[in-house]
Structure 1
Amino acid sequence: MMGEMLASLRFITSPRTVRLRLTLLYGVLFAASGAVLLAITFLLVWNSRRNAEALRYGILEPGQQVLAPDLSVAEHSREYIQRQNEALIQDLLIQSVIALAIMTIISFAVGWLVSGRILRPLRTMNDTIRRISARNIHERLALQGPQDELRNLADTVDGLLSRLHAALDARRHFVANAAHELRTPLTVEHALLEEAMLDSEADAGSLRSTMGRLLAISEQQGRLLESLLTLAESEGGLAYRQSVDLAAIADRVVGVTSAGDLRLLSDLSPALASGDPALVERLVANLVDNAVRYNVPGGRVEVMTGVVDGWAVVSVLNTGPVIPPDQLERLLEPFQRLDRTVRSNGHHGLGLSIVRAIAAAHDAVLTAQARPDGGLSMRVAFPPAISPPCRIDP
């Protein structure tokens, strides 16, 4: 009880509270409407009394209105009627003002109670949101009651909290996977260095072999860090856009790709898109690299560019192992591979997640489909290009 009294006192002493503003609004509106109502009643009563007295003394006929004093009536009758009317109107005015003052005070009190009742869900929501942090973001407002504006607001906040919860969980999962991917090569490096130091019979050849393995591990770590930086840059949005030709970029990527025994086919038509040239090239390179790496001996990779319904499209199709359709979404997440027990020759499962991040940064539409006979069909559709380069302010 004491807590509620203190809370009410804070509301009263703070002029910026919504509850006090609503109370003042209710009270002022009631006082204004009451004053207008009393004024109308006063005028009606005044006119009615004048007409009634005039009829009583034969001043006018029924149905007529008193327009001006009738000088033909005896002076004493006229003065008597006037005094009676003035006294009656004065009493009515005083009593009406007193009634209006009492009802105005009551309206302020009722307005305070009603506004507090209406705003109680907001205070509950405010207290709950203040308690929610990264440690207990799983909590929800779960506001009960009719499906009104306050309930819709609470449901919107709950939806926002759910998305934040999912984003934080994804970020924690990403950090954990990144730490695991970085910790494994560091452990191997430490073991190799320890082995070289403890081996008293190591010669130049064995040390050179150890250094070669350490160099390979260092290169893998460098690729991982570069991929992480690219992923972070893509998720941060674009600072610069210009017109880029997907056909030229795809032709350059295909020209430097080592396909081995795979058939690397290309059908490149001009397709102008708007975006960051370096990131777009990284997107195409990751698609082609993924298609080459996760293929089968003697398979093929098809790279195509063109314009479809005004959108610049690049698609990469490859043969490969059969991929269950329910695994496609997982493969687009960071550090995810089809076979989790294989490290895929130093690759960390970031290629397709980088593709998705770059596509999202360019407002492009990424479509991934598992082919029935094995492999993937990846398609990225970019919005039409803009003519001059432009810088996008953050």
Structure 2
Amino acid sequence: MFRALPKPRSLPNARLRPSRVRTRLTLLYGALFTLSGIVLLGILFLLVSQSPKSVFHEIKRGPGPAVTVDPGPGPASGPLTDLGKEMREQADRQRHAELRNLLVHSGIALAIMTLISLALGWLLANRVLRPLSTMNTTIQRISARNLHERLAAEGPPDEMKALSDTVDGLLERLETALAAHKRFVANAAHELRTPLTLEHALIEEMLIDREAGRDELRKTFQRVLEICQQQGRLLESLLTLTTGERGLDRREPLDLSELTGQVLDAARAELDVRGLSLATRIGPAPAAVLGDPALVERLIANLLDNATDYNVPGGSVEIECGVREGRAVVSVVNTGREVPAEQLERLFEPFHRLDRTAGRDGHHGLGLSIVRAIALAHDASLAVSARPGGGLSVQVSFPVPADPVPAEPGRQPERPALNRT
């Protein structure tokens, strides 16, 4: 039913292959070192070349003491002055030669250190990319059959550890989603197989019984039609559940109180037939919400439908809608059989029912699952509690937009039928 995730194919022209990333990091480290070395040598050469020159020059004459020559401020004349000029020129030539030697030797040293920095950069890049290579290998090994595996990186809380934890969280959510998907598909297949088997048995019985009369055939066809209608409602509920779990493609302003009133108007006849009392508390102020009007109306309808169908004779239903603490809230409270506390969360799982068999009561255990999916799609919080005397209390709290936009006048959302799932 589920195929393993395909292994990623190697792309010969991939721009982010590990070898290329390592080479780019190595070149980056080498370029930074070379640039900083050039700047350092430039500053040093500038400081040495701009150092102040002394007006005094010492002249060595053999092993004896040095003779200091000062040309003085007067006009240059005499043999001593010529000797001083010659010595200054020789000192300038020697100074330029030393600067040139300094520049050459510094360039050679910089070239040698550039090669050393490239080698060290290659090793450093390998050390930096080693955790990424390990995570990449582990992720490639993980498929739909071993989603329980985790990277579980160890070390200080740095960027690599944060990336590993993020991937582990993603794998955990993916594992949960796949498990829920498998369970949902298995339950849906079971729910659809039962009515199909019953249809097949009824039709086969009519084909075998050659003496069946018109009345018997009519009853059989009516039964098959009822089963087909149940399957249609089941498929419609599955589509609604899938839409809610997928998320919203668009959001538009709507009034939660107005939608609640519309659902109540459509359900009053059913409440009267069942002999249930209804108490409503809908605030006069609009409860502005951004979302899908059809899905929100389906949420309210499923809450009211669940409170109606799972009630007791002579019971009651209370529905309240308004704004509380800055959030738009709709709550439905009903009487009914006692619900164990450990079963509350499971009531919102698809196809979960309390001691009921699918097909016998026309329900498939999808009503509250759809409520939860639509609530999550609208960023709404869902709270459920069991009443002491029996029954449930379900409350859905929607976030109110900071700057609500009024709905278009005269526009009514498409109202879905009240499907009892």
- For normalisation by structure 2, the TM-score amounts to 0.79
Residue 365 of structure 1 aligns with an amino acid whose one-letter code is S
Residue 243 of structure 1 aligns with an amino acid whose one-letter code is L
Structure with the higher helix share, 1 or 2: 1
Structure 1 contact 246–312 (Cα < 8 Å) conserved: no
Quote the offset at 1:324 in angstroms. Answer: 2.4
Aligned counterpart, 1:67: none
Please give the per-residue CA displacement for 1:130-149, whole angstroms capped at 9, x wherever unaligned.
Answer: 33333333332222333210
Aligned counterpart, 1:17: 20
Aligned counterpart, 2:275: 261
Kindly tell me: are residues 195 and 267 of structure 1, through their superposed partners in 2, closer, same or farther at Cα, counting changes over 3 Å? same
Quote the offset at 1:376 in angstroms. Answer: 0.7
Aligned counterpart, 1:122: 132
Aligned counterpart, 2:39: 36
Aligned counterpart, 1:64: none
Kindly tell me: are residues 28 and 182 of structure 1, through their superposed partners in 2, closer, same or farther at Cα, counting changes over 3 Å? same
Q: Secondary structure at the match of 1:141?
A: coil
The counterpart of 1:387, out of the listed 406, 413, 417, is 406
Kindly tell me: are residues 356 and 168 of structure 1, through their superposed partners in 2, closer, same or farther at Cα, counting changes over 3 Å? same
**Does 354-363 or 37-46 show the bigger shift?**
37-46
Quote the offset at 1:223 in angstroms. Answer: 1.0
The counterpart of 1:105, out of the listed 91, 96, 115, is 115
Residue 128 of structure 1 aligns with an amino acid whose one-letter code is T
Mapping for residues 338-377 of structure 1, pairs under 5 Å: 338-339=354-355, 345-377=361-393
Residue 278 of structure 1 aligns with an amino acid whose one-letter code is A
Kindly tell me: are residues 233 and 99 of structure 1, through their superposed partners in 2, closer, same or farther at Cα, counting changes over 3 Å? same
% same residue: 56
- For normalisation by structure 1, the TM-score amounts to 0.84
Quote the offset at 1:99 in angstroms. Answer: 0.7
Distance in 2, Cα, partners of 1:249 & 1:72? 115
Distance in 1, Cα, partners of 2:201 & 2:217? 14
Distance in 1, Cα, partners of 2:141 & 2:172? 16
Aligned counterpart, 1:283: 299
Aligned counterpart, 1:141: 151
Alignment length (residue pairs): 373
The counterpart of 1:321, out of the listed 316, 324, 337, is 337
Kindly tell me: are residues 345 and 214 of structure 1, through their superposed partners in 2, closer, same or farther at Cα, counting changes over 3 Å? same
Structure 1 contact 253–284 (Cα < 8 Å) conserved: no
Quote the offset at 1:206 in angstroms. Answer: 2.2
Aligned counterpart, 1:155: 165
Aligned counterpart, 1:210: 220
Distance in 2, Cα, partners of 1:115 & 1:256? 74
Structure 2 contact 260–300 (Cα < 8 Å) conserved: no
Please give the per-residue CA displacement for 1:92-114, whole angstroms capped at 9, x wherever unaligned.
Answer: 22211111100011111111110
Structure 1 contact 234–357 (Cα < 8 Å) conserved: yes
Structure 1 contact 300–319 (Cα < 8 Å) conserved: yes
Q: Secondary structure at the match of 1:258?
A: helix
Please give the per-residue CA displacement for 1:157-188, whole angstroms capped at 9, x wherever unaligned.
Answer: 11111101111111111111111100000011
Distance in 2, Cα, partners of 1:167 & 1:387? 36
Quote the offset at 1:379 in angstroms. Answer: 1.3
**Does 248-257 or 191-200 show the bigger shift?**
248-257
Mapping for residues 77-88 of structure 1, pairs under 5 Å: 77-88=87-98
Mapping for residues 229-268 of structure 1, pairs under 5 Å: 229-236=239-246, 237-239=248-250, 241-244=252-255, 245-258=258-271, 260-268=274-282
Residue 209 of structure 1 aligns with an amino acid whose one-letter code is K
Structure 2 contact 150–168 (Cα < 8 Å) conserved: yes
Residue 339 of structure 1 aligns with an amino acid whose one-letter code is D
Quote the offset at 1:254 in angstroms. Answer: 3.4
Distance in 1, Cα, partners of 2:214 & 2:232? 26
Quote the offset at 1:377 in angstroms. Answer: 0.5
Aligned counterpart, 2:63: none
**Does 215-224 or 270-279 show the bigger shift?**
270-279
Quote the offset at 1:340 in angstroms. Answer: 5.5
Quote the offset at 1:119 in angstroms. Answer: 0.9
Distance in 2, Cα, partners of 1:269 & 1:33? 71
Please give the per-residue CA displacement for 1:201-221, whole angstroms capped at 9, x wherever unaligned.
Answer: 322222222222212211111
Structure 2 contact 206–217 (Cα < 8 Å) conserved: yes
Quote the offset at 1:45 in angstroms. Answer: 4.6
Residue 368 of structure 2 aligns with an amino acid whose one-letter code is L
Kindly tell me: are residues 79 and 305 of structure 1, through their superposed partners in 2, closer, same or farther at Cα, counting changes over 3 Å? closer
Q: Secondary structure at the match of 2:271?
A: coil
Mapping for residues 267-306 of structure 1, pairs under 5 Å: 267-270=281-284, 271-274=286-289, 275-306=291-322
Quote the offset at 1:315 in angstroms. Answer: 1.2
Aligned counterpart, 2:195: 185
Aligned counterpart, 2:29: 26
Q: Secondary structure at the match of 2:344?
A: helix
Distance in 2, Cα, partners of 1:15 & 1:89? 44
Structure 1 contact 12–20 (Cα < 8 Å) conserved: no
Aligned counterpart, 1:6: none
Residue 150 of structure 2 aligns with an amino acid whose one-letter code is R
Distance in 2, Cα, partners of 1:55 & 1:159? 78
Residue 270 of structure 2 aligns with an amino acid whose one-letter code is T
Quote the offset at 1:348 in angstroms. Answer: 0.3
Q: Secondary structure at the match of 1:314?
A: strand
Mapping for residues 69-84 of structure 1, pairs under 5 Å: 74-84=84-94
Distance in 2, Cα, partners of 1:120 & 1:322? 58
